[in-house]
């Protein structure tokens, strides 16, 4: 009987289930979006129960579409949007509040207060993270303060359909009685998949909470005290390829082992088989995420990058450095939806191919500030080098180059921080990686060979691989042959042209940050 591994990819806008065969081929999939809530400026929330209902739907739909028996599923792997925070009542199974999404900025003032109190360095040394509302700790602290310990807080009455929805804190035992549970989306879904039997996460997701010491690989008492988080509500932390419990038989009609769990960007690094120190993965999506495998010891960067746990298999742990670019596919969407000069994403490459270069035009798509390595929320978009002869083709060309420039900025910092690590392999995936101009510019600006992946579902595949390893569905040696390179882009731009392009970019970035050079 042919066997498969089921991957559950729990994203920011929807849930996807994909069945992979032994060759790493996706044989069936299902997807369902869920609603985004914006109750106040800077607030972003999800309905955790809607996410769970979506997971149920896509799981059953993918198996039905594949026309297989549940017993043919060897294992289940989970990958998820990171940092998004859920608190629920372990007795009733109900969330006490909506999930606060990783994009949410409501705790920015708390982070500023902690910086002024001199806590930033301690947090960075223990967690590898920058002190930012992006991570889970301040979100969890907000829920504990404003919902659990203060149920009359006005924030609890939020728009839901035609009326209002009031979220109630857990009754009875509460925080100290072990009734309350915290988790990122992986923990919430796992708890439901196992019928409430497993409250756990893996090291990669734990490392994004700002409560986890990446050196000791334990929840940190000093951080828990700082954020006023009781240890009793935290999930058990396990390796990424490990036994996470068994699927409740009522869901598919058969008990199936859940044996893989990993945050989405770390899962993509694994799915791209970046198993060796010096392997770099770039995912070109709405934003761009770069993860560099730095091996078995963490590097706490001086520059504003993030140190994170990539994964753990058995007792062997792998660390990574991470940089995030805010505007990647978002810049192409701007050309389409705001300027109306392209009809769709692929149209950008077609239009740009009508000219040989940007004609001296530089675009800085800082629509919501700049991410790594600047972390400047006040930066704003810039178009420089315009003349009366500038045509739309030049602006499109410059916008595609801007994506490569932003990623090159992060690669330059990665070189400085990991100066003893030689880049071995650079893998590119994501929707924007289909652009030849972006990847050729990336190779030229960063002076590295870029391998465009043939695998379009590297995040889900990474979760499947971790799950499959745990049940011996695959051997680690077999995984290298699953992800293939569709095309390699080699640097061809001469040094003078490259230096001129990069110099123009640096000047334009300075303008976007309103700083003199």
**Residues annotated in the binding site, as ranges?**
12-13, 16, 82-83, 134, 264-265, 286, 329, 431
* Contact in structure between 106 and 54 (CB atoms under 8 Å): no
Question: Binding site for sn-glycerol 3-phosphate: which residues?
Answer: 12, 82-83, 134, 264
Give ∠ CA 322-324-327 in degrees, rounded to 5.
160
Question: Binding site for ATP: which residues?
Answer: 12-13, 286, 329, 431
Task: For residue 312, list its beta bridge partners.
Answer: 317
DSSP type of residue 288: E
* Contact in structure between 389 and 361 (CB atoms under 8 Å): no
**The tokens 């009542």 sit on which residue?**
89
Give ∠ CA 146-46-192 in degrees, rounded to 5.
95
CA distance 366 to 202: 34
Q: What is the 3-state secondary structure (H, E, C) of 494-505?
A: CHHHHHHHHHHH
- Residue 187 token pair: 């923990």
Q: Cis link prior to 61 (omega < 30° from 0)?
A: no
- Residue 303 token pair: 């520059």
Q: Which residues contact 439 (CB under 8 A, 6 or more apart)?
A: 404, 428, 433, 450, 452, 487, 489
- Residue 72 token pair: 């043919």
CA distance 457 to 56: 20
* Contact in structure between 352 and 396 (CB atoms under 8 Å): yes
SS3 content of the chain, % helix, strand, coil (to 5): 35, 25, 40
Report strand pairing: 157-160 vs 163-166: antiparallel
Identify the H or E element spanning 405: helix 392-417
* Contact in structure between 460 and 262 (CB atoms under 8 Å): no
Nearest to 82 by CA among 10, 160, 148, 139: 10
Question: Binding site for glycerol: which residues?
Answer: 82-83, 134, 264-265
Question: Binding site for ADP: which residues?
Answer: 12, 16, 286, 329, 431
For the chain, state the CA radius of gyration. 23
State phi, psi for 406 to the nearest 5 degrees: -60, -45
CA distance 28 to 10: 16
């Amino acid at each position: 009987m042919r066997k498969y591994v089921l991957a559950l990819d729990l994203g920011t806008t929807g849930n996807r289930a994909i069945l992979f065969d032994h060759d790493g081929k996706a044989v069936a999939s299902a997807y369902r979006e869920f609603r985004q809530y914006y109750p106040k400026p800077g607030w972003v929330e999800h309905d955790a129960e809607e996410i769970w209902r979506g997971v149920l739907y896509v799981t059953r739909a993918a198996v039905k579409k594949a026309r297989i028996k549940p017993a043919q599923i060897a294992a289940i792997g989970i990958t998820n949007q990171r940092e998004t925070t859920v608190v629920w009542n372990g007795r009733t199974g109900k969330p006490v509040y909506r999930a606060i999404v990783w994009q949410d900025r409501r705790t920015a003032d708390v982070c500023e207060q902690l910086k002024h109190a001199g806590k930033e360095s301690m947090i960075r040394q223990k967690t590898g993270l920058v002190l930012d509302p992006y991570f889970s700790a301040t979100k969890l602290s907000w829920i504990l303060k404003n919902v659990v310990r203060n149920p009359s807080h006005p924030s609890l009455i939020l728009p839901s359909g035609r009326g209002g929805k009031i979220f109630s804190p857990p009754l009875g035992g509460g925080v100290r009685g072990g009734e309350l549970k915290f988790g990122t989306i992986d923990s919430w879904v796992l708890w439901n998949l196992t019928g409430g039997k497993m409250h756990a996460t893996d090291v990669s997701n734990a490392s994004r909470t700002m409560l986890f010491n990446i050196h000791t690989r334990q929840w940190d008492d000093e951080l828990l005290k700082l954020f006023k988080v009781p240890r009793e509500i935290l999930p058990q932390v396990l390796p990424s390829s490990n036994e996470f419990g068994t699927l409740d038989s009522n869901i598919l009609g058969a008990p199936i082992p859940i044996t893989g769990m990993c945050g989405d960007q770390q899962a993509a690094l694994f799915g791209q088989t970046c198993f060796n120190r010096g392997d770099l993965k770039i995912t070109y999506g709405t934003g761009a995420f770069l993860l560099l495998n730095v091996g078995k010891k963490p590097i706490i960067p001086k520059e504003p990058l993030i140190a994170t746990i990539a994964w753990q298999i058995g007792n062997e742990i792998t660390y990574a450095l991470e940089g995030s670019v805010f505007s990647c596919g978002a810049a192409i969407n701007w050309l389409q939806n705001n300027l109306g000069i392209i009809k769709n994403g692929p149209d950008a490459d077609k239009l740009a191919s009508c000219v040989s270069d940007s004609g001296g035009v530089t675009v800085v798509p800082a629509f919501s500030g700049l991410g790594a390595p600047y972390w400047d929320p006040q930066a704003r978009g810039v178009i420089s080098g315009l003349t009366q002869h500038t045509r739309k083709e030049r602006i499109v060309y410059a916008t595609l180059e801007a994506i490569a420039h932003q990623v090159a900025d992060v690669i330059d910092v990665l070189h400085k921080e990991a100066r003893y690590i030689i880049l071995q392999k650079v893998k590119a995936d994501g929707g924007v990686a289909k652009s030849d101009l972006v990847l050729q510019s990336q190779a030229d600006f960063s002076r590295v060979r870029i391998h465009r992946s043939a695998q379009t579902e590297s995040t889900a595949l990474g979760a499947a691989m971790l799950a499959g390893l745990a049940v011996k569905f695959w051997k680690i040696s077999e995984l290298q042959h699953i992800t293939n390179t569709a095309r390699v882009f080699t640097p061809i731009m001469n040094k003078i042209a490259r230096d001129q392009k990069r110099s123009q970019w640096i000047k334009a970035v300075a303008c976007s940050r309103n700083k003199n050079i």
